[in-house]
Amino acid sequence: MWFSTAAGVSRYDGYKFDNNVIPEINNNGTYSQNIGKDFKDNLIFTNFDQGLLVEQPNGRYQQYF
C-alpha cells in the first residue's frame, strides 16, 4: 500500500513502513499529491515542486515538468 505524506512517499508492506522507497521524491521532502499507474502498470507520482515522476524499467523515476 502506498501513502502520500508531507515528507514524500511511503510504502507499507503489511509489516512496516518504508519511507525511503523513492529517493527522487523523499530526498526533497516534497508532498506528493497523487499516486497512480499508467497503461504499462508503471507508478506515477505528481507533486507541486517536481511535476510528474514516472517509474522507468530500471526502477528509477523520470521527471516531467
Order the strands of the 61-64 sheet from edge to edge: 32-37, 43-47, 51-55, 61-64
What mean pLDDT is reported for the chain?
A: 83
Compute the distance between CA of residue 58 and CA of residue 31 in angstroms, rounded to an integer. 24
Segments of the chain scoring below 70 in pLDDT: 7, 23-30
pLDDT of res. 39: 92
Give the up-direction half-sphere exposure of residue 27: CA atoms within 13 A in the CB hemisphere. Answer: 3
pLDDT of res. 14: 95
Q: What's the total number of domains in the chain? A: 1
> Which residue segment(s) compose the domain that 21 sits in?
2-64
